[in-house]
Amino acid sequence: MTDQHIIVTGGAGFIGSHIAERLLSDGHHVTVIDNFDSFYSRSQKEQNLVRCKTSPNFNLIELDILDAEGLENKLTRSYDGIIHLAAKAGVRPSILNPVAYQQTNVSGTQNMLEFARKKNIKQFVFASSSSVYGINKNVPWSENDNLLFPISPYASTKISGELMGHVYSHLYNIRFIALRFFTVFGPRQRPDLAIHAFTKKMLNDEPIPFFGNGETRRDYTFVDDIVDGVISALHYDQTLYEIINLGNHHTVSLKEMVSTIETVTGRKAIIDQKPEQPGDVPQTYASIDKARRLLNYQPKTEFKEGVRRFFEWFSEQQKTFSP
């Protein structure tokens, strides 16, 4: 179905801007809400939206999702769906500032659900996270696994969002699809995330922080594959409430990740060995059987190819913003 009007919260960010572009190319109208949080530079977020701003079907509203009154006053059109990505991101920063994470990620999500209820928006896609699984030795991780033991404030806020979604789905027949993202990477990746940060340091001959023994593993998922899953979830029309993993169903160790960046960039990493970080899990590994079944989801991008495409974008960015 085309020509729907979709709200994308956090749409100036890494994943959100890719989703907004895809929606526009598919013939939809898109309203992006973003508060341009100072977690990283506004200039990168503005750059993320350059292509979107060329479309007459694109609208950008600078707004914090904690501003419930602003949501009602500024979003006055009729909308067909919400893709809710806006959140304070990151496990480690959430340990330093848990109250702010609770406010934005829980109260902000509540505001968006209330907005959906009042505006009679019946399709709500929520960006959850693989961090909700905590330390779970039962791999690959399934959506049916027990989530009683998150190990970071960030993870607990994402579980809260999933639970709130169930309440609104049950009470108000809002179709709520929670997508648990697994270590998304690719062009426009946030500068704090490992592949981006390591690449920059390696090119500058700076040491990279290497936590633990290098055996921690992540299920890296290329952003285009995540976008495919999100768009499928937006158009999913069967059950009213689902939680679905979006991963690559393939794990890469920290050592392998660094080695791949070395191969792609042609530079050698300088290792700064550090102890394991509080809140980090030994591995993430997604079962994607449910995503395949319900969303026809099939990740296509191998890790090395994804890193190569990230590096192409990174190199272009360096040219654009260098003095």
Active site amino acids:
154
Written as one string, the DSSP assignment of 14-80 is HHHHHHHHHHHHTT-EEEEEE---TTS-HHHHHHHTTTGGG-TTEEEEE--TT-HHHHHHH--S--S
- Of the CA atoms within 13 Å of residue 16, those in its CB half-sphere come to 31
Q: How far apart are CA 115 and CA 68, in angstroms?
A: 8
Q: How far apart are CA 145 and CA 311, in angstroms?
A: 35
Which ranges of the chain would DSSP assign to H, the alpha helix? Answer: 14-25, 42-48, 68-74, 91-96, 98-102, 108-119, 153-172, 194-203, 223-234, 254-265, 289-295, 303-321
Q: How many CB atoms lie within 10 A of CB 216?
A: 20
What angle do the packed helices 153-172 and 108-119 form, to 10 degrees? 20
